[in-house]
Structure 1
Amino acid sequence: MQIEVPSLGSRSIFSKAERIDSYLRVLNALMLRDMRTRFAGSYWGYLVQVLWPVAHMFIIACAMTFRHVPPPFGDSTMVFAATGAIPALAFQYISREIMKGILTNKPLTYYPQVRTLDVMFSRVLVEIVSSFLGVMLIFSVLMAFGLNPIPIDPVTAICGYLCAIALGIGAGTINVAIVQVFPGWMLGYIGIGILLYMASGVLFMPSELPEQIYDYMKWNPVLQLVEWVRLGYDPSLPITIDYVYLFLWVFCTLTLGLTLERTIGRRGGA
């Protein structure tokens, strides 16, 4: 009777599979912990995160209706509000929550199985899922009101939305590096986020402003992301998107953030 002894190659396969399984377990635990600790230490509190974009849309629509301001394009104030709130909030929440995830889960990084990148990646996954759920909920609400939330050019609108997520991840990695050195940056970035939100054309059409002011405002990449999504709803809008400029923002922020995190992480480990 012969007994088969696992070869060295099979052992390496088993060990690699075990490492992958262990990594997935760590990510799963971090994601569940993030969802549970958002609001009131309950999974039900996670729904608040998903409902925020809907609340923003209603607030903007109600304010414009109360002031008797017609939508700058299309026939629906709610659709106009949604086209601005969705990309702006996708960027804002992801870039901010990645940073908050590091502060919340910092003690977990003292375990050898958990790295800072694991915490960042788990928070990114949670925020992307939350953002998608928020979009689906907004679409459901708009359809319930008898409105059509489907863009004329879906590819353009989806690409603008995905670029907002990518820029949020890039800015979030930079925030992670900064907040590990200056924890007070958390409050500072909240203030910056509010200014960016107000200056990104969520509440108005920047292209209707004087040309000199509009040219300066377009240096804000979030404004161009909002316009990119709105261009998918009305291709006739007098809007020109600098795609190279936005892609450079995404690439540079992600590269700089990962480089800073790696440098700071090594110093912290030392």
Structure 2
Amino acid sequence: MDSTLQRSAWQIQRDVIHALLVREMKTRFGKWRLGYAWMLLEPTMHILVLAAVFSFMGREFYPGIPTMLFMLGGIAPFLFFSHCFGKSLAAVESNRGLFNYRQLRPFDAVLARVLMEFAIYLFSMVALLVILAWFGVSATFNDFLLLVVVNLLYLGFCLGLGLALCVAGERFPEAAKFAPMIQRPLYFMSGVFFSLEQIPEEYHPYLAWNPLLHVVELTREGLFASYHGHFANLPYFAFCALGMLGFGLMVYRSQWRDLVRSR
């Protein structure tokens, strides 16, 4: 009997995701001269620009944490969100020809893109922490378990968001034009270059609705022992992450057949 007929559904799914990941990596980095170095160059350029601005102001941004490390704790998580947002909108259209294969569905395309961005996010975060430490820019590490929990929840949040956006991007192609209008304000409202404790408390109830702000605050709390993330709320973010994942799965389940059939 042909060995392919003996494969389980899990093995088929694993092979499909692996093939999509390889395809996404080649598409994402293969056409650029810088190639895979762009994984580190993109967050590095953000960090250098922000660090230069605050160095010009002549002060350390957060006591006990070098400015470059502080910025890394905000930029790396936000870039993961930003890339998932943009790529999920185009996930169906970019992979439409592959849906002729019975084993492959839009869910696989979104999952592969989110997993790839998550791997890039973790790699760039760890690599830049090591590089900065090698140059003498370091801070006392705090809580590895908190980082694991936050990032697993964050992965679920972005997967749910990606599933909902892949449906929105197919149903409403013009939605891609509004993506920058949504992401830019979030860049300034998600704690990428500030700490919530540095903002007057009367604004906290409004900013605290933003789940990305809690991701950044909790990430910095897990990374740096001297960071006091008293305003971060892990239960609230867990609720947002599970709610977004459930919402994304529900929207996708109700529309996936139409996504495959649409041309």
Kindly report the root-mean-square deviation, in angstroms, between the aligned alpha carbons of the 2 structures: 2.6
Which of residues 69, 93, 98 in structure 2 aligns to 1:103?
Answer: 93
Mapped pair 1:212 → 2:210? no
Q: How far apart, in 2, do the equivalents of 1:168 and 1:43 lie?
A: 29
2:106–2:260 contact (8 Å) kept in structure 1: no
Which of residues 35, 42, 45 in structure 1 aligns to 2:25?
Answer: 35
Deviation of 1:85 after TM superposition, in Å, equals: 1.4
Q: How far apart, in 1, do the equivalents of 2:227 and 2:66 lie?
A: 17
Q: How far apart, in 2, do the equivalents of 1:28 and 1:236 lie?
A: 38
Indicate how the Cα distance of structure 1 residues 62 and 102 shifts in structure 2: closer, same or farther if over 3 A, else same. farther
Q: TM-score, with normalisation over the residues of structure 1?
A: 0.84
- The 5 Å alignment of 1:1-270 reads 15-17=5-7, 20-39=10-29, 41=31, 45-148=35-138, 151-232=141-222, 233-234=224-225, 237=228, 239-269=230-260
Deviation of 1:20 after TM superposition, in Å, equals: 4.8
Q: How far apart, in 1, do the equivalents of 2:198 and 2:5 lie?
A: 60
Larger Rg: 1
Larger displacement relative to structure 2 (36-45 or 213-222): 36-45
Indicate how the Cα distance of structure 1 residues 129 and 213 shifts in structure 2: closer, same or farther if over 3 A, else same. same
User: Per the alignment, in what secondary structure is the counterpart of residue 165 of structure 1?
Assistant: helix
Aligned residues: 260
Deviation of 1:18 after TM superposition, in Å, equals: 6.2
1:95–1:170 contact (8 Å) kept in structure 2: no
Q: How far apart, in 2, do the equivalents of 1:243 and 1:15 lie?
A: 45
Q: How far apart, in 1, do the equivalents of 2:63 and 2:156 lie?
A: 27
Deviation of 1:199 after TM superposition, in Å, equals: 0.6
Deviation of 1:260 after TM superposition, in Å, equals: 1.1
Indicate how the Cα distance of structure 1 residues 165 and 18 shifts in structure 2: closer, same or farther if over 3 A, else same. closer
Deviation of 1:112 after TM superposition, in Å, equals: 2.2
Give ranges in structure 1 of 5+ residues lacking alignment: 1-5
The one-letter code sitting in structure 2 at the alignment partner of 1:245 is: Y
Deviation of 1:86 after TM superposition, in Å, equals: 2.3
Larger displacement relative to structure 2 (249-258 or 159-168): 159-168
**What percent of counterpart residues are identical?**
25
Q: TM-score, with normalisation over the residues of structure 2?
A: 0.86
Indicate how the Cα distance of structure 1 residues 100 and 52 shifts in structure 2: closer, same or farther if over 3 A, else same. farther
1:50–1:131 contact (8 Å) kept in structure 2: no
Deviation of 1:219 after TM superposition, in Å, equals: 0.7
